[in-house]
Structure 1
Amino acid sequence: MYNRKGSTESEMTSVGSVRTFIKKPPTLHLTSITEVPENTNCLACSDDGLYLSLGHSKGLSVWSANTLSCEAEWLQERIEITSIHMACIGGTVYLLATLDDMGVARVFVYNVEAIQCFSVINMMDDVSKRSVCLEFDLCKGGEHGALIMRYNSDIWLEIYYFPTQDWLRELKDPKISANLKWSASVRVNRVNPSTAAITTTLPNILSNFLVLDDTSEPARHCTPHFLMRCGQSYGKNKAKTGSPLSVCFWWTGSHNLLYLLLSKTAKGKLDPEPTPLILWPNASEIVCSAVSSCTRFIALGLTNGLLCVWDRLSSSPLPISGVSTDSPFLRLHFVDYWPACADNSQTLASGEVHLVTLCESGAVHVVSTERGLATDTEQLSSRPKDSSDLPIVIASVPFLQGLSLVLCRNGKMFLHDVVNKATVCDLYLPAHHVLANPCNPIYALNVKQHVLFICAAEEPSPSNESSQDDPSQSRLLMLRFEDHDATRPYVLSHSESPWQQKPNVTGEEACNLYFQQRALSMEERHKSITQTWKRLSSPHILRCH
């Protein structure tokens, strides 16, 4: 299937006396650009596409995405950055959220001239009393961060507000900049699993049917998602465009998706741990989740193989999908697909979504669902016979219509058309190169410039294998999708969905769109109901009863 010689060759197979020609997908080769710092662990791209940030064993650095040259560095001995996020907070000023190998979370600001540390979230002199940050996620716009914290066996979620507008003003004040007296970050929420387990805000008649979370075992992790504004009008007090208004999250072992409104100030002393709302109860435990790029849709994978999608615009679920799998869900993600339509209101009303699920066995399924229509589920690939073929990364490419990027443990890479169920092209590293970290590939997508960046290392020869103690030297590779015929038709002129292009949808408009879609799908729903009654009235069903 994979061929380095070109995109015009075909493979001939024979079945009996019939010969068929299977056209191989074209191959695209990544080009080597430059060396990156030793032991580079993480890579992120700014949302405006101008800069790359790299975390490594001596700190972090910011590079120009155009010239691929290092613009600034923050270097500290014995500090190894393992996770990094980047957000533009105004003009040429960027916020960097990092996590190091000791579980310390830091917030930096890069303002073209230098990188400065503005906040250290959980640093303490006594290491034995310090809480460890397991995960640090930064929202779009950089105003809020979600941190998963742990101390001994206790784990909890913290939400921080970062005063980005104050920091922008303070950077322009010579006195404040000279003294490095920045405004402090504010912890606005802290939520424990025990608080979430006993909480319900649903009516009593519904609460009787909820499955209470089992609190006998402590939660091992929390998965948060920031949510943008959806179907609400805020008048004079409306939030800044692009800023999230809430966060949803769930704990391992939990049946309930929880919800919190974001704020800019800490809660009062009488309410240090606010009670989250139960946004969505489920009969089975949640094992994975995903939010669409426009945050209109939330998807949950459950332990019983069910896949549920919630439409925040209409405040109702899409048809529940049953995925026949040979193992539990591992991950899932939305694939951006917005077909050309003269009237965006039709796209808004239909609620068409495409999801890719990855199971623990390595099997991959595609689920396509739409309000009022039957769900289409198809298996893209089965359990791989060789563990080296196991997919490690399956991610949506925001600027390529309906495509997923797949990276396997053995270095195989390709783009898959999720809607049409076809491989678009195979991606190859330069000769004698391998992925820098095959079990956790280091890559980033430049949404504005339509570029894939990925770190690779030279494959050691058998006669000159380096010691494991030697520092890992990697190279930065890139692929510009607009330069290739295979991917050029999929490139979007914009990376925003119709929902993001029309953010100020009022509640009345949302209801009108919902009823419009219901009217359009009436015939399909009538067919589905008729088929269901036919199955129920069949002789076989009647004998069973």
Structure 2
Amino acid sequence: MKVQPDVPAGIGVHWDGSHNLCFYLLNCPLKEKVDSDPKPDVVWPCAAPIVCSAVSSCSKYLALACEDATITIWNKHVGYPLSVTAILEERVICSIHFLQSSGAASSETPCSCTDPAFPIVQLLVLCTDSSFYLVKAPMSGKSSITLLADSPEDPNLAVSVVVPVVAFPNAALFFSWDGTVSLMNTATSQIVYCFSVPPSHAVASPWQPVFIVDSVNWCLLLRGDEQQQADAFAQSTAGHSTIFLFDFNSYPLKEAFLKELDLPFKSLQNLPLAERCNIFLCDRQQSLLGLEEQYWSQLQAQAAAMDKERQKVKGQKKP
């Protein structure tokens, strides 16, 4: 299909209790008679009801989290699962986000999308008990899951929202119920900086903050409501809201991500079409080789088990 850059070509829909992710294409030719119940163009089935989903910025990878705490990362270009992991602590997942890794800036793995490539695809997972994990899915090898922060004992420290920060690799913002906004380096699990509004205002609201991260101008826009009482959770009257701007360039943040920022990266956006096609074909070939090795090892194990069973049956037939 002919699509324009940065223009959505489809929409994915899932709902509570649904096992299927439905894709609807937005650039299909219009029909003379409009269907009252349009059928999805693609249906992506799952073994358990879908809780949340995410698509990488390059639209190459699709992540699905189910009610059984299973997380599957799919490579949509070649149509196979990159990794399947599960949180074993019986926790409920509430949101997932793709995270830019420092390895994405490696010059050895050119970008296969408009953003730096993901030689190791990273996924940030937030649970309903405010614990959050980092899932790493390499192109070859076994995926891993790391607990970045466990459920806090103090309810005021509960995390309500998590959002990646594209300006810095391995960076994510965490909004807590007490109104604090923290920037974490997920590679080290360390809090790099905390953004706070003036004492006269409170983040509106801490459990559902109003904000936006500008990845172009490297800043955070956050709404704060004027407090009418000393209580940090006091409700403010209408018309007393303020938008606060936090410029990332005004804070000593680059030092915390200095090593990652110094790495050069390549983008396909400015490469010739032939070179972009070669990169895509190489990526596909490596993926298929990995699948071939996996299936061959499984076939060998199955053949060895059958041979062992045959020898066992042959031994039982001897007098």
**Which category describes the TM-score, using the shorter chain as reference length?**
0.7 to 0.9
The CA deviation string for residues 293-317 of structure 1, in whole angstroms up to 9 with x for no partner, is: 2221111101111100111222221
TM-superposed deviation, 1:245 = 1.6
> 1:301 touches 1:329 (CA, 8 Å); kept in 2?
yes
Which residue among 515, 530, 543 is the counterpart of 2:285?
515
Which residue among 481, 485, 493 is the counterpart of 2:248?
481
Which residue among 280, 302, 307 is the counterpart of 2:71?
307
TM-superposed deviation, 1:499 = 5.6
Which residue among 32, 40, 43 is the counterpart of 1:268?
32
Give the match's secondary structure for 1:318: strand
Query: Given residue 513 of structure 1, which amino acid in structure 2 is its aligned partner?
Result: D
> 1:311 touches 1:351 (CA, 8 Å); kept in 2?
no
Select between 430-439 and 496-505 the one with higher mean Cα deviation: 496-505
TM-score normalised according to structure 2 size: 0.77
**Structure 2 Cα separation of the partners of residues 431 and 360 of structure 1:** 29
The equivalent of 2:212 in structure 1 is 444
Alignment of 1:261-300 (within 5 A): 261-263=25-27, 266-269=30-33, 271-300=35-64
Which residue among 123, 139, 144 is the counterpart of 1:355?
123
CA change 1:409–1:512 in 2 (3 A) is same
> 2:55 touches 2:62 (CA, 8 Å); kept in 1?
yes
The CA deviation string for residues 170-228 of structure 1, in whole angstroms up to 9 with x for no partner, is: xxxxxxxxxxxxxxxxxxxxxxxxxxxxxxxxxxxxxxxxxxxxxxxxxxxxxxxxxxx
The CA deviation string for residues 463-506 of structure 1, in whole angstroms up to 9 with x for no partner, is: 9x99x69425022212111222234664869xx98465669687
CA change 1:253–1:520 in 2 (3 A) is closer
Give the match's secondary structure for 1:457: strand
The equivalent of 1:92 in structure 2 is none
**Structure 2 Cα separation of the partners of residues 498 and 321 of structure 1:** 29
The equivalent of 2:85 in structure 1 is 321
Alignment of 1:96-495 (within 5 A): 234=1, 238-263=2-27, 266-269=30-33, 271-337=35-101, 339=103, 340-345=105-110, 351-462=119-230, 470-487=237-254, 490=257
The equivalent of 1:8 in structure 2 is none
TM-superposed deviation, 1:448 = 1.5
Query: Given residue 250 of structure 1, which amino acid in structure 2 is its aligned partner?
Result: H
Give the share of equivalent positions with the same residue, in percent: 23
Give the match's secondary structure for 2:152: coil
**Structure 1 Cα separation of the partners of residues 92 and 266 of structure 2:** 31
CA change 1:240–1:363 in 2 (3 A) is same
Give the match's secondary structure for 2:139: coil
Q: Which has more radius of gyration?
A: 1
TM-superposed deviation, 1:261 = 1.5
TM-score normalised according to structure 1 size: 0.47
> 1:434 touches 1:459 (CA, 8 Å); kept in 2?
yes
TM-superposed deviation, 1:280 = 2.1
> 1:338 touches 1:497 (CA, 8 Å); kept in 2?
no
Give the match's secondary structure for 2:283: helix
**Structure 1 Cα separation of the partners of residues 78 and 10 of structure 2:** 17
The CA deviation string for residues 275-330 of structure 1, in whole angstroms up to 9 with x for no partner, is: 21344211111011111122211111011111001112222211201112342111
CA change 1:380–1:242 in 2 (3 A) is same
The CA deviation string for residues 64-100 of structure 1, in whole angstroms up to 9 with x for no partner, is: xxxxxxxxxxxxxxxxxxxxxxxxxxxxxxxxxxxxx
Q: Which runs of 5+ in 1 are unaligned?
A: 1-233, 537-545
**Structure 1 Cα separation of the partners of residues 170 and 272 of structure 2:** 22
The equivalent of 2:312 in structure 1 is none
Give the match's secondary structure for 2:282: helix
**Structure 1 Cα separation of the partners of residues 290 and 252 of structure 2:** 37
TM-superposed deviation, 1:417 = 1.4
**Structure 1 Cα separation of the partners of residues 128 and 256 of structure 2:** 33
